[in-house]
Amino acid sequence: MDKKRIGRRIKAFRKLKGYTQIQFAQEMEISTSKLGNIERGTQQPSDQLLDEIAEKLSISKQELVLEEHSN
């Protein structure tokens, strides 16, 4: 997983849903600095946190991380 790409996608989807960084961090029950680090790609979110972020943003985890499955 590319931390920077995932962080950019989290930020983009967060903004599309109308959350500020502070509001979203409060909704996710994490610190604003942790969310900022994740969005900048300096911190790797855990799989559990990615699942929770995807659920909160009403998108699939695959859409969030752009996992491609080859046939």
* pLDDT tens by residue, 33-48: 999 999 999 999 999 9
pLDDT of residue 70: 43
pLDDT of residue 13: 96
| pTM of the predicted model as reported, rounded to 2 decimal places | 0.88
Q: Report the alpha-carbon distance of residue 71 to residue 57 in Å, rounded.
A: 28
* pLDDT tens by residue, 16-69: 999 999 999 999 999 999 999 999 999 999 999 999 999 999 999 999 888 655
Q: Report the alpha-carbon distance of residue 70 to residue 36 in Å, rounded.
A: 32
CA nearest neighbour of 37 among 15, 10, 69, 63: 10
